[in-house]
Amino acid sequence: MATLLTNGSKHEKEASSTSTDILTLALDIVQNAASIKTLLASQHLPAPSFSPDSAELPDTPEHAALRSRLVAALDDLRLLVVGPRRTMRSLICFSNDLAAFQVAFEFGFFTIVPESEEGITLEEVARKAGIDAGRARQVLRMLCTHRVFKETKDGWFAHTASSVAFSRDENLRCAGHYGMDEMFKAASSTADTIKASPQKSDLAHSPFKTRLGASMFEYYEQNPEHAARFAKAMAVDRKTSTLGDLFPWNTLHGTVVDVGGGSGHISIALAHRFPHLTFLVQDGVPDMLAQGRRLLAVEDPAVACRIELLQHDFFQPQPPPERLTTRGPVAAFFLRHVFHNWNDDDAVTIARALVPALEAAAPETPLIISERVLPCLGDEVPLHEERAMRQMDMMMMVGLGAKERTLAEWKALFRAADERLEVKKVHGQAASGILEVVLRK
């Protein structure tokens, strides 16, 4: 197996290519599964299982590459063996599976079931959830088919690795609940929204507003409990390790202006990693800045002293650099997951509002934009990876009437804001991307 980890096998090298031969795909699966097992053993890591105490595969580049090749082959083999009609029949019925998840989140199944080998009786789950045992049984047994919970003996249910992940991680549980509550409801109104406004997609013409009667921002202002859940849901993927690795932050000197930075959690993480930089966090929502002040109050003073907070609406022109901070020159303007919340017209306005400050800054002071870059035809991104990005693209459309963008769409957006704005470089790729944009003078 050592050669699989160094040079790779013929099947492993070809795993990214499309094959319709089930034996070739099966051999790809065996080879990549063997490579993963060998790699885990060499690093003294346990193999994954369905047990609640199972560890997930690490997210190192080596593990991720092997996992991607294995999943690509698994997906294609399953589709070929099951066939298109059965596959599509299952897919279009998947709203029924999601209905079971919706009930489980709404009625607290994930925290009701204890972390014990024996588990809990159906009747006890129903009693604690406040619902009838019949429908609780229907929901639990549906979820068991996804290995979310398991029936240990007739009428007794216990955790699996998948269900216990929701039990142990409140942020992940909130992400599931938010997804199965307002977003699942909004998604069911997508076609109706497009029929009502076939040429318009924005906050006011989004499935979210169609279904829930308010735009996403208005809805969370009106429903603070749901807003708190949404904030926790968004905290699930707050990983800054990749962000710190993708861009050469060490080449910057001065203050990074974090535009639309919310509570500043990303700037705080970057400040820990890059002590030579200071950060100015801007956000237009006073509550987000108040949350930021609470975070800084309990932060390491050596980090907190390098972070400022400023209320600013990013639709309005950015103040000139000399008025932004007294802590040295502006090194960059940083926008993380800002543009994908807005349709093209609004996104152009946000980009245009940055131009006056870029004109007054040092030549080629960059806009550092952390966003997905959707693949185009021929980019050879594995379908399961592209599907994850397309899911986010659809989520933006459903929730905000907005979108993710290809590189060509990013370039067009910046040209529309100002012909001098140019994408200098894309750091990383696809789901983990940073666009470096400069104003050519």
177 belongs to the catalytic site? no
Residue type, 249: W
CA distance 363 to 360: 9
Pair of tokens at residue 31: 């080879």
337 within 8 A of 262, measured Cβ to Cβ: no
Length of the chain in residues, anyone? 441
Q: Within a 10 A sphere around the Cβ of 297, how many other Cβ atoms? A: 8
404 and 392 Cβ atoms separated by less than 8 Å: yes
Q: What is the DSSP string of 306-352?
A: TEEEEE--TTSPPPPHHHH-SSS-EEEEEEES-GGGS-HHHHHHHHH
Residues 326, 362 contacting (CB under 8 angstroms): no
Burial 423-433 (b: 16+ CB within 10 A, else e): beebbbebbeb
Name the amino acid, one letter, at 415. R
Rg (CA), the chain: 24
Q: CA separation (Å) from 350 to 35, 339, 361, 410, 440? A: 46, 8, 18, 13, 18
- Cα end-to-end distance, the chain, whole Å: 55
SS3 364: coil
Please answer whether residues 98 and 188 qualify as being in contact, where contact means their C-beta atoms are separated by less than 8 angstroms: no
DSSP string, 276-310: T-EEEEEES-HHHHHHHHHHHHTS-HHHHTTEEEE
Q: Which of 226, 272, 340, 384 is catalytic?
A: 340
Task: Please enumerate in sequence order all residues whose Cβ is within 8 A of that of 231, keeping only pairs 6 or more positions apart, or say none.
Answer: none
Catalytic residues: 340
